[in-house]
Amino acid sequence: MDYFFTEEQKMIRDLARQIAEEKIVPVRAELDEKEEFPREIMEVLAQSDMFGIFVPEEYGGLGMGALELCIAVEELSRACLGISTSYAANALGTYPILLFGTEEQKKKYLPDIAAGRKLVAFALTEPNAGSDAAGIQTTAKKEGDYYILNGLKQWITNAGEADIYTVIAITDRAKGARGASAFIVEKGMEGFSFGKKEKKMGIRASVTRELIFENCKVPKENILGREGMGFIVAMRTLDQSRIGVGAQGVGVAQGAFEEALKFAKQRVQFGKPIISFQAVQHILADMAIQIEAARSLVYSVARYIDSGAKDISKVSAMAKVFATDVAMKVTTDAVQVMGGAGYMREYPVEKMMRDAKILQIYEGTNQIQRNIIGQALIKEATKLTG
Amino acid sequence: MRIIVCVKQVPDTAEVKINPETNTLIREGVSSIINPYDMHAIEAGLQLKEKKGGTVTVITMGPPQAEEALREAISMGVDEAVLLTDRAFAGADTLATSRTLAGAIRKLGFDIVICGKQAIDGDTAQVGPEVAEFLGIPHVAYVKKIEEITEEKIVLYRMMEEGYDVVEAPLPLLITVVKELNVPRLPSLKGKMRAKKAEIKRFTHKDIGIEEDRVGLRGSPTQVKNIFAPERKKERKILQGSPEEQVEWLIEELKKLKCI
């Protein structure tokens, strides 16, 4: 279907697809097997300006928006969700600076990010603070010109590989949710180290580690926004980035669907290609319907975000939930269509199915997304009925 | 450093089919690409620029649509592009092509000229060295590694059938490159945007100051009589018997073939 992309949007799609097909597809199975971070692919993405898509032009980026980023993420996800996770997590880590950074902070960090010279990570989750972000225990205490950070962040994508970390920590526990603040922490700062590397079910080309802060000294000018704004920074960042997870869902579903379609056309049973059987056709038809519906929703919401709309929480949650539930369903069905072959590592769909599962979990589980939608609906109902 | 890269737009042979009756390419509906060896030449030019500074200019001779190939080169990062296009250039053999390219290169000025080792459509591997002759500069063909380059000289690995030669040569010079030299980069988004708007310089035979009868078909002594795929002789015999018998038999066979 034609989504009426501009010339520039088509350019991004074509180049991202070329990178995916020429550089990612040949290595994805090996990176998954070895659980290896795709450093070389990151360099290709950097050289192609992919890291600068959503960064304003005055900081060396291309000055585009959510839709363009979604287009790139979708194409990369079609080939490998592990790699697209490393790429998308970079955007997630960058949004706090983009949305809340001072002019100095933007000038200092964004050009390197846009050029792909420095990779970014976002650090909110802790052992006792996942869906319940208010459970954060990492503290930041102001001492002279520094904030002293102590605590542990868990399951942080790009940890160890990234140079810049946007970290949420508690500056005043008495204030509850208003007692959190966001900081820019650089790799190499005193008292900042990395914990164990997680072994994951899928997205194994992405790296997931702990961040350890032991009296980590962060210059006071590295606070994002003001003290106490940490949760606002985190929530607005997630509102902005969530659509990218939706785009990942569309991409991986598309990749799995194409594999299943190709296989069904070639695989002969009972003397005919299995695609000639209605039972198989219907599975494929349902996959195609769901993918197109998810894509339409993701693009529509991305365009809504780019229009400058403020009330994006509900719709971006809807797109994330829908597209990632579709991804899980479609990748599972792709394995089913391909039967035993689909289950084997020789074909890419088993990896896609393993990879897809994370989409329903990270950047807010799909249950939390439904909470967000539910709360928005309650507000709307109150407006209607008083 | 002034770096010139010569490229050729060729049919994408991954898609091309041969008409078995005429033994010619079926060109209809086949997309065009930059000759794959020339992609390595572009990459070499860009890497030299990154190391030594300067500019990379890409040139091609071809019909107006060859501009597409030049825009692709710009999207990879070359600074400027020149299209040698003129009705008078049509039908050129390697001699007329080289003379034309050399004329343009002389006009542009250069420290090093880089070409792919050959084009995948013509496969002659003549144009690079011929351009060097017209320019009156040394050339090194089949370069697989650029070891060192200064303002005055360059040290290169030249691929040979077995192993390689290490060649030191003075600048200015021309090199032709093989695919082992590097991995051509993909375009960048900024490059693609620049390529869309970039101005492509166009030269005719007048611009490069070469008489009309020295370019194109009129300047080409080569005449193509026939095009055919070489026949493969599959005939073979296996030597048998004692070593003495085999030697005797081999001598007889070679005499029959008038080899000895």
- Whether residue B250 is contained in a domain is answered as no
- Whether residue B137 is contained in a domain is answered as yes
Per residue in A112-146, pLDDT tens?
A: 999 999 999 999 999 999 888 888 999 999 999 99
Predicted pLDDT of residue A168: 97
Predicted pLDDT of residue B29: 76
- Percent of chain A exceeding pLDDT 70 equals 100
When pLDDT is averaged across residues B183-202 and rounded to a whole number, the result is 95
Domain of residue B196 covers 2-219
- Whether residue B257 is contained in a domain is answered as no
When pLDDT is averaged across residues B1-7 and rounded to a whole number, the result is 97
Cross-chain residue pair A47–B186, CB shorter than 8 Å: yes
How many domains does the structure of chain B reveal? 1
3 state SS of A119:
coil
Per residue in A220-263, pLDDT tens?
A: 999 999 999 999 999 999 999 999 999 999 999 999 999 999 99
Lookup: tokens for A193: 């180290």
CA pair distance A128, A122, nearest whole angstrom: 17
Cross-chain residue pair B186–A44, CB shorter than 8 Å: yes
Per residue in B24-69, pLDDT tens?
A: 667 777 889 999 999 999 999 999 999 999 999 999 999 999 999 9
For residue A386, pLDDT beyond 80: no
Lookup: tokens for A302: 């991305």
H-helix or E-strand spanning residue B80 = strand B80-84
Predicted pLDDT of residue A221: 97
**Band (B23; pLDDT cuts 50, 70, 90):** low
Surface-to-core class of residue A289, CB atoms within 10 Å of its CB (0-12 exposed, 13-18 middle, 19+ buried): exposed
What is the dihedral angle through the alpha carbons of B6, B12, B14, B20, rounded to the nearest 10 degrees?
-110
Secondary structure (H, E, C), A329-386: HHHHHHHHHHHHHHHCCCCCHHHHHHHHHHHHCCCCCHHHHHHHHHHHHHHHHHHHHC
Cross-chain residue pair A15–B189, CB shorter than 8 Å: yes
- Among residues A36, A221, A363, A380, the one annotated as catalytic is A363
Per residue in A47-74, pLDDT tens?
A: 999 999 999 999 999 999 999 999 999 9
- Give the residue from chain B lying closest to A61, CA to CA: B190
Per residue in B223-258, pLDDT tens?
A: 878 777 777 777 778 888 899 999 998 898 889 888
Top residue of A7, A13, A15, A17 to mutate, by most chain B CBs within 10 Å, is: A15
Predicted pLDDT of residue B187: 96
| Partners of residue A11 in chain B, C-beta under 8 Å | 189, 192-193
Predicted pLDDT of residue B78: 97
Cross-chain residue pair B193–A50, CB shorter than 8 Å: no
Top residue of B31, B189, B194 to mutate, by most chain A CBs within 10 Å, is: B189
Chain A residues within 8 A (CB-CB) of chain B? 7-8, 11-12, 15, 18-19, 22-23, 44, 47-50, 52-53, 62
Predicted pLDDT of residue B238: 82
- Whether residue B55 is contained in a domain is answered as yes
Surface-to-core class of residue B64, CB atoms within 10 Å of its CB (0-12 exposed, 13-18 middle, 19+ buried): exposed
Q: Can you give the CATH number for the domain in which B133 is found? A: 3.40.50.620
- Count Cα neighbours of B122 within 13 Å in the Cβ-side half-sphere: 19
**Band (B162; pLDDT cuts 50, 70, 90):** confident
- Whether residue B256 is contained in a domain is answered as no
Arithmetic mean of pLDDT over chain B:
92
Interface predicted TM-score (ipTM) of this complex, two decimals: 0.89
Predicted pLDDT of residue B223: 80
Per residue in A306-349, pLDDT tens?
A: 999 999 999 999 999 999 999 999 999 999 999 999 999 999 99
Arithmetic mean of pLDDT over chain A:
97
- Whether residue B241 is contained in a domain is answered as no
Per residue in A17-34, pLDDT tens?
A: 999 999 999 999 999 999
Active site (annotated) includes residue A43: no
Taken in order of first residue, the domains within chain A and their CATH numbers are 7-119 (1.10.540.10), 121-228 (2.40.110.10), 232-385 (1.20.140.10)
Cross-chain residue pair B189–A47, CB shorter than 8 Å: no
- Whether residue B181 is contained in a domain is answered as yes
| Partners of residue A8 in chain B, C-beta under 8 Å | 193
Cross-chain residue pair A12–B188, CB shorter than 8 Å: no
Nearest chain B Cα distance for residue A346, angstroms? 26
Predicted pLDDT of residue B26: 75
- Whether residue B123 is contained in a domain is answered as yes
Predicted pLDDT of residue B227: 75
The alpha-carbon radius of gyration of chain B (Å, integer) is 22
**Band (B84; pLDDT cuts 50, 70, 90):** very high
